[in-house]
Amino acid sequence: MRDTAPNRNRRTCARVIPWLLITPCLVACSTSGPWRDKADHLAHSLAGDYATYYRSPHVGVGMSATLGTGAVLANTELDEDFQTWYQRQARNADADDLARAIDHLGEGQYVIPVFVAAYVWDEARGQPGQGSTVSEWGERCLRTVAIAGPQTWVLQHALGASRPDEGVGSRWRPFEDNNAVSGHTMIGATALLSAAHVAENPCLKTGLFIGSTFPAWARTHLDAHYLSQSVMGWAITAVAAHHVNTRYEGSPKVSWDVLPGSEAPTVGFTVSY
């Protein structure tokens, strides 16, 4: 499709309209009663998230694993070999429509206003403080994006990798480009991981956790990102969503620790649930 002026205008309108619709909610949150309380609660929660996130050993291990995996994939032939194989041998037209549909979950200009609307759902229905599932999901999404979003943006620019269609490979070239981490994957995974943490049914929870990887698959399938970039987008979000869940519910239902072994120089790995 040609990038004509009418097409650009339609895209601009599509990006602006969701924010125009959600602006009354934001104004109400800053000025009146229960709406103001809702905004204060979110601000307090975000402050607590940030105060504890970068001190958490689980976050340190998770982010180290994320960067280590991304580095190996991006700075060897693995990324480019996988992308070439997938596009030539595995991609098929039947899956293209599904990938494009899933990819819409990563459109932040549309999806983030949905998170905001979900967060104030109870107040909009005149039932402040009800603590509905919709409102809880919206809060978890906003808190996860608030943690994962800045990390994604910084790493996108700091690592400096390019997209597959740019012809320069997947290797990290600090500050020379801004596609080292998939932002679409981060937004899409936020919606599904947050839903998984809210869900109580084990089958539904498992399905949502598995489904949270689909935005990463869609970006790789559509040749918009290398595997490393999609994997890092998902992993950063998973670490952030887990931290939000831990703060939201208190002690996590499943935790792990690396401990020194009884006989040096061994180490032990424990899982508690």
CA dist 232 and 186 (Å) reads 9
195: part of which helix (H) or strand (E)?
helix 183-198
Look up residue 81 and give its two tokens: 């070999």
Q: How many CA atoms lie within 13 A of 130 on its CB side?
A: 15
Look up residue 217 and give its two tokens: 């698959």
Are 95 and 217 in contact by the 8 Å Cβ rule? The answer is: no
CA dist 106 and 117 (Å) reads 17
pLDDT at position 93 is 84
Are 205 and 254 in contact by the 8 Å Cβ rule? The answer is: no
The b-or-e profile of 214-240 (16+ CB within 10 A means b, else e) is bbbbbbbbbebbbbbbbbbbbbbbbbb
Look up residue 105 and give its two tokens: 């979950």
Question: What is the DSSP secondary structure assignment for residue 107, as one 8-state letter?
Answer: -
pLDDT confidence band for 26 (50 / 70 / 90)? low
DSSP helix/strand/coil, 51: helix
pLDDT confidence band for 63 (50 / 70 / 90)? very high
pLDDT at position 263 is 52
pLDDT at position 223 is 94
pLDDT tens-digit map of 182-216: 999 999 999 999 999 999 999 999 999 999 999 99
Closest CA to 244 of 109, 138, 128: 138
What integer is the mean pLDDT of 24-29?
A: 52
**239 phi and psi angles, rounded to 5 deg:** -65, -45
Higher pLDDT, 225 or 121: 225
pLDDT at position 19 is 46
pTM: 0.80
pLDDT confidence band for 16 (50 / 70 / 90)? very low
For the chain, the average pLDDT equals: 82
Are 54 and 224 in contact by the 8 Å Cβ rule? The answer is: no
Q: How many residues does the chain have?
A: 273
